[in-house]
Structure 1
Amino acid sequence: MTGGGVRWLLLDVGGVLEQVDDAAWPGQFRTRWAAAFGLTDEEFSARLSNADLPDAARRTGVDDEYWGKIGAALGASAEVLASMRADFWDAYCGTLNQPLFDFLAGLRGQVGLAILSNSGDGAREEEERRFGFAAVFDPISYSHEIGVTKPEPEAFRIVLDRLDAAPADVLFIDDVPENIEAARAMGIRVQLHVETTDTVAAIRAAVSGGA
């Protein structure tokens, strides 16, 4: 990263603001609930694949339809489906990266704070209820609301327009190398998140103009 201080910090959620292993939890969720229904992982996945689920990653207002079709595909009672749905969101959201969140909250007024996250319909409500992101970040851009997912360039173009910012005005922080490279290709400054201490140091440098 080179140049003066950034005007905006743009953060991913899962794996950055939230401590959650996005590569692991979906498989663990599948195995857990396949067993609950007396199915193998493959049988469970096949039923969901045949359920004609709406694209909850790029559409809003489909959360109830999505889970209703899952319930029908599995023959789940309303009570069991509600338990499964709650377990999904607990796994999806993980726990708050409190040190990073607190550090960023302390930067309010010094630099703009925004979110760009691949998401499922319902994520805004679930994450807001748990973590109160809206008190720190504005705007918050979820893929299911903007209709496009990272690493597609359009996702970044939409957010740059919302920020009224040039690419070099923004430091983008994500834990997925593919997303980092897509942002870098557009001229956005980037930081691959691995350890919170390293990310905090990179943010300090970027905000001060030393990056």
Structure 2
Amino acid sequence: MDLRRWVLFDIGGVLEVVDDDTVRPQFQRRWQERSGFSVEEYRARLRAADLPVIDRRADTRTEYWSKVGRALEMDSDLAEAMQADMWDEYCGRLNTELFDYADSLRSRAGVAILSNSVDGARCEEERRFGFSAVFDPILYSHETGLLKPEPEAYENALERMGAEPQDVLFIDDHDICAEGARAVGMNATVHRGNASTIETIEQFLQQEG
């Protein structure tokens, strides 16, 4: 047993079954059509709304959605429906197999999360999936102000875990984020499916320190 080892997980596309690359355009198209504005008008209104940064700042969720609602001339009920729809798309569904496997690792290694996120993600994902029962620390970009693949995001994770880079395996569904982890000395793999990811984790944990 080597508790110096850490397995560091991304959320969307790894612990959650959701395609990060298709959710946003699908959501925007759906709500553009529901708003009644043309694509050009919809985009122009949101550009002009001076929306706050929500992936590097906490406590911006209320301001963000209030401005979206005003920009699209929505009443409060419709704005709330839009926000609820966004979170359903954003969170997807729990990758139960990988979540349960991560839970089983805790006697063998530390398990943690490093995720690019938007304000409100911790609340929503904890309510739906209870990540804090398994992972510690859980590092969200909207709380740290650091986005993958910036080196500082991984370096902050290492500091929070109290880990050396070579003792960490990072798992993400995007090559660029895995490359960012490798650039600071971490091991990294791109999640393509549960079987291959679990096999990679097992191989990592069986390596000699």
Deviations 1:158-200 (CA, angstroms, capped at 9, x unpaired): 1100011110010000011011111111110011101111001
Correspondent of 1:41 among 33, 39, 42: 39
1:144 aligns to 2:128 (yes or no): no
Aligned equivalents of 2:184 and 2:39: distance in 1? 39
Residues 1-211 of structure 1 aligned to structure 2 (within 5 Å): 7-209=5-207
Per-residue displacement from partner, 1:48-87 (whole Å, max 9, x unpaired)?
1111111100000110001001011011100000100000
Q: Counterparts of 2:21 and 2:93 in 1: how far apart (Å)?
A: 16
TM-score by length of 2: 0.96
Scaled by the length of structure 1, what TM-score is found? 0.95
Q: CA deviation at 1:46?
A: 1.9
Counterpart of 2:21 in 1: which secondary structure?
Answer: coil
Matched residue of 2:118: which SS?
coil
Q: Letter of the 1:147 partner, please give it.
A: G
| Corresponding pairs, count | 208
**Pairwise CA RMSD:** 1.5
The structure whose RCO (Cα within 8 Å, separation 6+) is larger is 1
**Secondary structure at 1:23's aligned position in 2?**
helix
Distance 2:205 2:71 in 1: 50
Q: Which runs of 4+ in 1 moved over 6 A?
A: none
Structure 2 gaps of 5+ residues are none
Identity of aligned residues (%): 50
CA distance in 2 between counterparts of 1:108 and 1:198 reads 20
Between the aligned partners of 1:5 and 1:195, the Cα distance in structure 2 is 25
In structure 1, the gaps of 5 or more residues are: none
SS of match in other structure, 1:83? helix
